[in-house]
Structure 1
Amino acid sequence: MAQISTPLATSYTSRTGSGAVQAAAHPAAKHDPEAAASSAPSHIRAVPAGTEARGFVLYVGIDEEKAENDGTELGSIVSQIKALVAQLAPSSETYAAVALAPRGSGGRDVDVVRLALQDPAALAKHRQTPDPADRAHDGVVIDLSRKRVLLDNDSANLTYKEFELLQYLVLREGRTIERAELITALWSASDEDIPNERTIDVHVRRLRSKLGSYEDIVRTVRGVGYRFDRHADVSVRQTSTPSPDLF
Structure 2
Amino acid sequence: MSLTIAQPRTTTTLRTAAPAATDLGSVTPIRGRRPAVLPAQPARPVADRSAVPTSPAVAPPRNRALPEGTEARGFALYVGLDEATAAAAGTTLAAVVEQLKALTTQLVPGAETYAAVAVAAEGSGGRDVDVVRLALQDRSAVAARKQTEKPEPEETGVVIDISRKRVVLDGEAAPLTFKEFELLQFLVLREGRTVDRSAIIEGLWSDGEDETPNERTIDVHVRRLRSKLGAFEEIVRTVRGVGYRFDRHADVSVRYASTPSPDLF
- TM-score range (shorter-chain normalised) is 0.3 to 0.5
TM-score (norm 2): 0.43
Structure number with the bigger relative contact order (C-alpha 8 A, sep ≥ 6) is: 1
Which has the greater radius of gyration? 2
**The structure with more strand, counted as a fraction of residues:** 1
More helix as a share of residues: 1
- TM-score by length of structure 1 reads 0.46
